[in-house]
Amino acid sequence: MANLDRRTGSFQDHPSPYACDPDSSRGRLYPEADCSSRDCFQRDRDRVIHSTAFRRLTHKTQVFLYHEGDHYRTRLTHTIEVAQVARAISRQLGLNEDLTEALALAHDLGHPPFGHAGERALQRAAKDHGGFDHNAQSLRVVTALERKYARFDGLNLTWETLEGLVKHNGPLLGAHSRDTLGALPAAIADYNRRHDLWLDRFASAEAQVAALADDIAYNSHDLDDGLRAGLIDEEALGDVPLVGQYFAALKAEYGDLSGSRLHYEINRRLITDLIVDVATESRHRLDRHRPADCDAVRMADAPVIAFSGHMAQELGELSVFLFAEVYRAPRVMAIMSQAEMMVAELFERYFDDTGLLPAGWRADIAPLADTERGPRIVDFVAGMTDRYAIEEHRRLFDCTPELISPGVHP
């Protein structure tokens, strides 16, 4: 293992040969002059941070609604935790940390209000209007929906950031695609016709790191939030997959440790072990495969960044546990089914009467054919924060659910 250089904070003083090199970027769809103080991946990261969609993540749900408590993760703090984990892995492997960070920060920009409840509602509502996929929506946000620059719509990010954003979970076409999407989402197919993102190949190692950093972040912080919410019993922690060993060790060392100190001591051990596992397994894969450059990573037959088989299985068991105990907890489900209905009703109401949309959206939609209106209303609803969706529902309907579970007093 490379030694940590205390001066640069890096594990090696030169990038790995398979890291993405900003000087060899395939560039932007709309050519732009170089910046004197930042390379192209640093600019991409900064463009994401300064986007409107990024700020909206503050008021979008991760698992718990914002009014359920100030200490639960929001989609924004989730994103920041993903970026932290992604940078840590990227640095250990000598990858391009700026590209990794840009991808982590952008990965959930297309997430609708109310987390997966909002996503389910939009998938149903958009069935006859091109469908909805939050990953494809992230691409739409950064290539079309952000309206900030004089010369183009979107953020005009580099090819490497865009290909990483759409393929971080693997190729979307061809022999290596996981085929979970069904048809290629229209938003991705449309953009790909203008800017070929090599949809049948793997993404860069940086994008693969961002994808696993998402898994590490949400499994660990959803466990932490589940404990905070009282959905997971502290006394039962010894039986939780992967986590039981930390609980036993902490009990042996500290005896009566409980509450937030216990939760955090578990959380930090979990994050560290997952990061070390990915870095170790990926280093083995890279040593075996020896990709000559970043395109060799894309052309490989399998991902180069991965958990070990043993850890993948244990993490899978933890995910199943969290699904049952947290995401499907009656208290969470009660609120989310109300939220799902709210999103579905909003879509229908705007679709039936586009005059209810804000002026800018009305003007955009006015010249469109009837068949083109649906996808634009999906764009509008997907961009909403939880807070704005509730406000709009109150404006447009006589009765809006309180989104509070019985017995919970925010």
**Among 91-99, 169-177, 212-220, 359-367, the segment contacting Mg ion (CB under 5 A):** 212-220
Report the C-alpha gap between 166 and 188 in whole angstroms: 8
> In the bound complex, what is the minimum distance in angstroms from residue 165's beta carbon to Mg ion?
12
> In the bound complex, what is the minimum distance in angstroms from residue 24's beta carbon to Mg ion?
28
Q: Which is nearer to Mg ion, 108 or 222 (CB)?
A: 108
Q: Which is nearer to Mg ion, 197 or 217 (CB)?
A: 217
Q: Which is nearer to Mg ion, 22 or 118 (CB)?
A: 118
Among the listed residues 44, 68, 81, 108, the single contact to Mg ion using CB under 5 A: 108
> In the bound complex, what is the minimum distance in angstroms from residue 97's beta carbon to Mg ion?
19
Q: Of 64, 61, 58, 59, which Cα lies nearest the Cα of 326?
A: 64
> In the bound complex, what is the minimum distance in angstroms from residue 305's beta carbon to Mg ion?
16
Q: Which is nearer to Mg ion, 62 or 156 (CB)?
A: 62
DSSP string computed for 197-210: --TTS---HHHHHH
Q: Which is nearer to Mg ion, 83 or 266 (CB)?
A: 83
12 touches 89 (CB < 8 A): no
> In the bound complex, what is the minimum distance in angstroms from residue 12's beta carbon to Mg ion?
28
Q: Which is nearer to Mg ion, 18 or 307 (CB)?
A: 307
Q: Which is nearer to Mg ion, 217 or 297 (CB)?
A: 217
Look up tokens 């987390």; give the residue. 115
202 touches 208 (CB < 8 A): yes
Residues 6+ apart with CB under 8 A from 224: 263, 264, 266, 267
Backbone angles phi, psi at 105, to 5 degrees: -70, -30
> In the bound complex, what is the minimum distance in angstroms from residue 78's beta carbon to Mg ion?
6
Among the listed residues 133, 146, 214, 340, the single contact to Mg ion using CB under 5 A: 214
Nearest-5° Cα angle at 230, 226 to 236: 85
- If one asks whether residue 133 binds Mg ion (CB under 5 A), the answer comes out as no
**Among 118-126, 206-214, 235-243, 321-329, the segment contacting Mg ion (CB under 5 A):** 206-214
* Contacts of the segment 323-326: beta carbons below 8 A, 24+ positions apart: 325/226, 325/231, 325/232, 326/63, 326/222, 326/223, 326/225, 326/226, 326/229, 326/231, 326/232
Q: Which is nearer to Mg ion, 62 or 96 (CB)?
A: 62
> What is the distance, to the nearest Å, from the Cα of residue 169 to the centroid of all Cα atoms in its chain?
11
> In the bound complex, what is the minimum distance in angstroms from residue 259's beta carbon to Mg ion?
27
**Among 101-109, 120-128, 283-291, 360-368, the segment contacting Mg ion (CB under 5 A):** 101-109
* Amino acid in position 389: A
Report the C-alpha gap between 330 and 323 in whole angstroms: 12
* Amino acid in position 110: G
3-state secondary structure 161-188: HHHHHHHCCCCCCCCCCCCCCCCCCHHH
Q: Of 308, 287, 75, 321, which Cα lies nearest the Cα of 212?
A: 308
> In the bound complex, what is the minimum distance in angstroms from residue 104's beta carbon to Mg ion?
9
**Among 51-59, 108-116, 134-142, 308-316, the segment contacting Mg ion (CB under 5 A):** 108-116
Q: Which is nearer to Mg ion, 97 or 108 (CB)?
A: 108
Q: How many residues bind Mg ion (CB under 5 A)?
A: 2
Window 19-58: contact mask with Mg ion (x via CB under 5 A): ----------------------------------------
> In the bound complex, what is the minimum distance in angstroms from residue 64's beta carbon to Mg ion?
15
Look up tokens 């039981």; give the residue. 244
**Residues contributing to the site for Mg ion (CB under 5 A):** 108, 214
